[in-house]
Structure 1
Amino acid sequence: MTKFLAPAALLALGALALTGCTDNNATASADGSIAVSASDDACTLATGTAAGGTLKFSVKNEGTKVNEFYLLAEDGLRIVGEVENIGPGVTRDLVVMAPEGSYFAACKPGMVGDGIRSPFTVTAAAAGQEVSADRAALQQTAADQYASYVKDQSQQLLAGTEDFAAAFAAGEEAEAKQLYPQVRMHWERIEPVAESFGDLDPILDAREADLEEGQEFTGWHRAEKDLWAPKGYTKMSQAQRQQIADGLVKHTTELVTRAQALEFTPDKLANGAKELLDEVATGKVTGEEEAFSHTDLWDFQANLEGAKIAYEDLAPLLEGTDDELDAQLKENFEKLQAQLDAYRVGEGFKYYDQLGTEQVQELAAGVDALSEPLSRLTAAVVK
């Protein structure tokens, strides 16, 4: 789950928030990528300016902590693109399509806090950046199809949230427990979209273990803890449950409104698919996401479905240009789905704490096998 400062807090930090740096005398790499050196205390870009169009950032972790890299919109909240889980010594690429405008580049050492940021400017697109009319039409079709999917899932998320909130507030725990993993699947299928709203995401989906000092524990996981109360926990009063329930509905309604206004591009679909697999690797496979309910496999399934939808919308762009990647992705999606199907129970799944160490390791290996070719999808579809 990604967290960034609200606009007011970002402005209050002023120049202190921009502790990253750029080497304005350096140039992009020979292949046109912008080199980024991410360390434990710095985020150094080879250049702070690039022409609009397809941008490729080559991010090397020079530090000792796992790192992340983001390109943020001018408000410092909306995520244009991100690459997560960059281990020490590892280089990973972020490919995005960015129009002319002002942005922030940000590294996030340790994958906590608000990141080390520096301004990044995208100028007018260089000549020759246009794609063929046929390919542009395929790209637009993919974007339109995915926008319809996000609209449908976000509306189902809101309807389900209203049902869950009503049951939770009324103390109908059996009903709320049944609804919890089912409704959250709508969130998990479009998680990159939800996370792009840096002010709403922490309110709705922050895990207790991820809370920073002074941050209130609200949203889905606050309700989860109350429903699957750990030993020594004091249950919320009806008034407290109502407050959590009202907040879930209020902020989900706002998320749906914002999601309807989003515009999608092929790079956002492909990067979003990869982010969903990253979510599985960092939260679901580890069992950290649903620490109280252990309904991680429902989330796992939803993340996989969301990634597959994005891939399938983009698949026509691979036909005749990268058939090998298309075949590999199709095969690895099917293999990972087969692994998950082995843990189905009725209409749901086994609880995650019922899986053994070897089973978890096998799932992690399946995620890794799919994640590698999926990381190449963005570059293949923005040509």
Structure 2
Amino acid sequence: MRARLLPLTAASAFGLLALTGCVANTPADSARAALTVDSSTDACTVSAQDAPAGTLSFSITNSGDQVTEFYLLAEDGLRIVGEAENIGPGLTRDLVVQLAEGEYVTACKPGMTGDGIGKAGFTVTASDQVVAVDDDLQAQIETANVNYASYVRDQVAQLVTGTDTFAAAYVAGDFDTARGLYASTRSHWERVETVAESFGDLDPQLDLREADLEEGQDWTGWHAIEKDLWPADAEPGFAAYPAEERQRLAGLLVQDTATLNEKVQTLSFTLSQQTNGAIGLLDEVATGKVTGEEEFWSHTDLWDFQANVDGAAVLYAGVRDILVAKDAALADSLDAEFAALQTLLDAQRVGDGFTLYTDLSPEEIKALADQVNALGEPLNQLTSTLVL
């Protein structure tokens, strides 16, 4: 049996992305390419779809009736290169970035929720202007830290929106819709899972597996609902939850996700937290996703696998230019191993989703496990190389 086609909301993050610096509300200079952005209720209109490499200034005007945000994303549509936040109706804010030649994505987010609107490609072409990331290492590190904090907030905001929709369908008894939303919504969680795990009880409340339950522990979260949505894969004699229990579980899922969103608003990161986060996400793949233990009833482990790797790749991409200056050979090795793992995952794609874990052959599972190990070896050197 092949996988049912579930939506996947973002591409993988394996392009070799240039680190960029961003500064909001910086005075204009003569060497800067100036662009305008109109963020309305239903559109995000950028004055041009390309600009020469160097310093670019985006002047963002909110012509809508909600507070909005403007995002400049890397080509993968995941990593945040720069953002202008909290732009009230009728207001204008500037975003100034240094961009190397390459492909990027622009988007606006009216209401500051959801996955944004008006996403469009933006090309930075070659130019005579010398584009340096930043000669000051600390400034590069700070840029990477700030951009990753923005990425985490964005992923959790999308998790909130998706969880609300998923929970509403589940409570309403629209199980086909809920099953269709399950894996793609959880991808936002899986991309930043190691950050979520830092908030104590929130992680088990949202993501505890039945096999890890302690005696007398209340089982809540995604996997408790997963079992109810795929009863045919549960143990013999499993009884579907009554309506009151579904209401309780959905309510707690929404509530705990909202709490997570509140907590990430003030997060900041260090370089070691980023590099260790990348290592931790790959560990999540090795200990749960590649074994098929995470999604015990839905068998959507490859969606989680991809999302964990997405998150690790975003973290790596944010510090890659710093690594190249310190150990170019290690960067080359990581580039190659990330790409090889993505090739294996891409081979399991079915439409916008993936093969169910139960449909993988033993040889396919072994190949994925071996490549996770191959990536893990150089990735485990990342923190010591950059921080020590």
**TM-score, normalization by structure 2:** 0.64
- Per the TM alignment, residue 320 of structure 1 is displaced from its structure 2 partner at its CA by 2.2
1:335 maps to amino acid = A
What's the counterpart of residue 274 of structure 2? 269
1:375: how far off? 0.4
Tell me by how many angstroms 1:214 deviates.
1.4
- 1:241 aligned residue (246, 265, 270): 246
Distance in structure 2 (CA, Å) of the matches to 1:218 and 1:310: 29
Using the TM superposition, give the Cα deviation of residue 318 of structure 1 relative to its aligned residue in structure 2, in angstroms.
1.1
Alignment of 1:53-68 (within 5 A): none
CA distance in 2, matches of 1:133, 1:345: 44
Secondary structure in 1 matching 2:237: coil
Q: Secondary structure at the match of 1:261?
A: coil
Q: CA RMSD in A?
A: 1.2
Aligned to 2:335: 330
Which residue among 309, 318, 332 is the counterpart of 2:314? 309
> Which residue number in structure 2 is paired with residue 24 of structure 1?
none
1:161 aligns with 2:163: yes
Cα deviation digits, residues 16-36 of structure 1 (max 9, x gap): xxxxxxxxxxxxxxxxxxxxx
| CA-CA distance at 1:382 after TM superposition | 1.8
Q: Is 1:380 paired with 2:382?
A: no
Q: Deviations over 1:148-205 (max 9, x none)?
A: 1001000000000000000011110000000000000000000001111111111110
Q: Distance in 1 between matches of 2:135 and 2:253?
A: 43
Aligned partner of 2:350 in structure 1 is 345
Aligned partner letter, 1:209: A
Partner of 2:185: 183
User: 1:198 & 1:289 partners in 2: Cα distance?
Assistant: 20
Measure the CA separation in 1 of the matches of 2:146 and 2:159.
20
Q: CA deviation at 1:227?
A: 0.2
Q: CA deviation at 1:133?
A: 7.9
Q: Displacement of 1:332 after TM fit?
A: 0.6
Aligned residue runs from structure 1 range 198-209, under 5 A: 198-209=200-211
Give the TM-score of the pair, scaled to structure 1: 0.65
* Deviation for aligned residue 1:232: 1.9
Of 352, 355, 374, the residue aligned with 2:360 is: 355
Distance of 2:244 and 2:166 partners within structure 1: 16
> Is 1:250 paired with 2:255?
yes
Identity of aligned residues (%): 53
Instruction: Confirm whether residue 173 of structure 1 aligns to residue 175 of structure 2.
Output: yes
Structure 1 counterpart of 2:286, one-letter code: A
Are 2:368 and 1:366 equivalent residues in the alignment? no
Tell whether the 8 Å contact from 2:326 to 2:386 is kept in structure 1 after alignment: no
- Give the number of aligned pairs: 252
Instruction: Measure, in 1, the Cα distance between the counterparts of 2:174 and 2:362.
Output: 34
Amino acid aligned to 1:151? R
Which residue matches 1:113?
Answer: none
Q: CA deviation at 1:233?
A: 1.1
What is the CA deviation profile of residues 319-368 of structure 1, one whole-angstrom value per residue up to 9, with x for unaligned ones?
Answer: 22110011111111000000000110010001001111111111000000
Residues of 2 paired with 1:269 and 1:314: CA distance? 8
**Does the aligned pair in 1 maintain the 2:156–2:189 contact within 8 Å?**
yes
What's the CA shift string for 1:103-147, capped at 9, x where partnerless? xxxxxxxxxxxxxxxxxxxxxxxxxxxxx9811111101101101
Contact 1:169 1:238 in 2 (8 A): yes
Q: Does 1:321 align with 2:326?
A: yes
> Aligned runs of 1:274-285 on 2, under 5 Å?
274-285=279-290
Give the partner amino acid of 2:242: S
Letter in 1 for 2:336: E
Gaps of 5+ in 1: 1-131
1 CA distance for matches of 2:266 and 2:194? 15
Where in structure 1 do 4 or more consecutive aligned residues deviate above 6 Å? none
Match of 1:150 in 2: 152
Deviation string, structure 1 residues 244-292 (Cα, Å, up to 9, x no partner): 0000000000011111111101111110000011000000011000000
Q: Could you tell me which amino acid in structure 1 is paired with residue 158 of structure 2?
A: Q
User: Could you report, residue by residue, the CA deviation over 1:191-226 in whole angstroms, capped at 9, with x for unpaired residues?
Assistant: 001111111111110000001111111100000000
For residues 170 and 269 of structure 1, the distance between their equivalents in structure 2, rounded to whole angstroms, comes to 40
Question: Residues of 2 paired with 1:343 and 1:133: CA distance?
Answer: 42
Partner residue, 1:196: 198
Task: Structure 2 unaligned segments of length 5 or more: list them.
Answer: 1-133
1:142/1:314 contact within 8 Å kept: yes
Q: For the Cα contact (< 8 Å) 1:170–1:238, is it kept in 2?
A: no
| Aligned partners of 1:277 and 1:371 also within 8 Å | yes
Question: 2:333·2:378 contact (CA, 8 Å) conserved in 1?
Answer: yes
Residue in structure 2 matched with residue 289 of structure 1 by the alignment: 294
Aligned residue identity for 2:347: A
